[in-house]
Amino acid sequence: MKPNKTKTHPRGAAAFSAARALVLAVLAATGALATATAAGTGAAAPTLEHPFVGTYKKEAQQGMAIHKDTAFLFNNTGIVRMYNLKTKEFINDYLLDTAAPENHANCANFGVEFPEGNSAYPALYVSECYGQRRCFVQSVSAAGAKLIQTLKVRRDGKSMEPLTADYSFDWYVDKDGKFLYFAAITHDAKNRADESDYLITKVRLPALSEGDVTFTEKDFLDRFTISFRHLSQGGVIRGDRLYMPVGCPKPAGAKKDPADRALIVVDLGKRKIEKIMDFSKDLTLEPEDADFHGDKLLMVCGQDGGLWHVKGI
């Protein structure tokens, strides 16, 4: 596919500065941006680094993955956008070959192995989240994407029912340890003031040469439960920590704000939540996913969007 250099995307430093100023002004006017510190953590509020739009082609922003200076942003149904974080330029947009109403593309992580014939980007792991809740492993480039492996979970050879302990919805790649983790809701609290339970499961990271893989109980290397009241989103692993953006956008009007926008840091070695960084007073946008650009953790948000620098992790 030939790169689509749409004129609606800002290019160059001057355009980027103008776009950033405009987004900051809009966010400030709508209350989406505040200057307070993250409640209860002493960490600074997230700051806007890249004013890339959230909603795109009428679909909500979801997952994000970064390789070197290139950010891949995913919108519901499997829309991909690519941006150069160094030059601030839009590179291209296209549909995944797994695009479908059930492909929420909720979480995206790069892996460690490069697909055959692709030396530019490692394999990309995209969480379907809806439908069969599979993990689609894609070979990606500036021109398009190709499905090279599908990962899923089954129990005793049977399809699983929703909300059971073995039903995955988000998949996270541990690049350092070469493992995969996936999350499942085992208790879904309908009231956002109450905590839901999430079962985190660790499995091996299959080689791309293995083709499609179905994990069963015998493949589980570790399992533990964490509980929090926030709406789960995507996540990224670095070292022995899982960084999970969580929460809902602040509703308009008089509707009650669930005030659950945060970043949850999970210590995978100790198998527990290390800290919750509350951004509810600092940000009204919906945290969606996160990844590292160098040593800087960037969190992508929905609605008006933007990649936000999370400090003090």
Amino acid 187: pLDDT: 86
Are 262 and 276 contacting, i.e. CB atoms less than 8 angstroms apart?
A: yes
What is the residue-averaged pLDDT of the chain? Answer: 86
The pLDDT of residue 167: 64
Angle at 247 between CA 19 and CA 284, to 5 degrees: 40
Class for the domain spanning 12-310: mainly beta
Mean pLDDT in residue range 275-289: 96
Reply yes or no on whether the pLDDT at 30 is more than 80. no
Burial of 192 (0-12, 13-18, 19+ CB in 10 A): middle
pLDDT for 155 equals 67
pTM: 0.86
Mean pLDDT of 266-281: 97
pLDDT at 1 over 60: no
Read off φ and ψ for residue 28, nearest 5 degrees: -65, -40
pLDDT higher at 6 or 228: 228
Exposed/middle/buried for residue 42 (C-beta within 10 Å: 0-12, 13-18, 19+): exposed
Please spell the DSSP secondary structure of 279-307, one letter per residue. -TTTB-S-EEEEEEETTEEEEEESTT--E
pLDDT tens for each residue of 140-160: 999 999 999 999 998 665 555
CA distance 117 to 115: 6
The model's confidence at residue 189, banded by pLDDT at 50, 70 and 90, is: confident
* Inter-residue contact 108 to 289 (CB < 8 Å): yes
- The C-alpha angle 291, 293, 295, rounded to 5 degrees, equals 100
How many degrees, rounded to 5, is the angle at CA 299 between CA 133 and CA 280? 100
> Is residue 201 over pLDDT 50?
yes
37 vs 158, more confident: 158
- Break the chain into its structural domains and give their ranges: 12-310
